[in-house]
Copies of this chain bind each other. A is one copy, B any other.
Amino acid sequence: MDKGRVEAFSDGVIAVALTIMVLALKVPTGPDWHEVLEMAPVLSAYLLSFLYVAIYWVNHHHVFQLARRVSRRILWANLHLMFWLCLIPLVTAWAGNYPLTPAPMALYGVVMLMCAISFRQLVQALVKCEGPDSPLAHAVGRSRKKELSIALYLVAIVLSLWYAPLGAAIYIGVALLWLIPQQRSAPSTD
């Protein structure tokens, strides 16, 4: 099987998910600056989700670059990831409309958790297809960042139900975990 079309399809889904998130930002219903200030929670949620989707796209890009072929299991693992990525605009809008409240913040974490789990499954399917000595397996094996993220999401979901800003802080922390250290260490695939 050819990986080109899987990449193109994933790019399409991710590009549309990124772009329609903006449709969740309702156009202000008045011409004044305070309307923009009232959008601050929605804009913050949008920014965080944009970062997350961008990180997934960059990581998707990296693991597929090291893959040479695509199995049926990989196809469906990829579609599973796309399913959860497609739900990000919905939970972003909910979390932005009701900022720092328990249920939206916890549901945001549930979708993020499922994205992380399905991405981990996708990487495992790719590694299994490539073999344990492939460049992909070596690049992926050097990091436990995916497992750490999953654990942090679980903590954030529980904490959100108790005090929502803690959940938000952890989501921001996980995004930074993926954004910042990648510039230092060589492996770009974890």
Contact = CB atoms under 8 A, between A and B. Distances in A.
B75 A1 contact: no
Contacts of A67: none
Mostly, the A contact residues are helix
Given A5-B11, A82-B18, A27 B103 contact: no
Nearest to A57: B9
Tally of this chain's copies:
4
A94 B28 contact: yes
Given A5-B61, A18-B86, A50-B86, A103 B31 contact: yes
Given A27-B90, A31-B104, A19 B17 contact: yes
Interface stretch (A32-40, A117-125, A134-142): A32-40
A172 interface: no
Cβ-closest 4 pairs across A and B: A12-B15, A31-B98, A16-B19, A31-B101
Interface of A: 1-2, 5-9, 11-25, 27-28, 30-33, 35-36, 47, 50, 54, 57-58, 61, 65, 72, 75-76, 79, 82-83, 86-87, 89-90, 93-94, 97-98, 101-104, 107, 182-183, 188
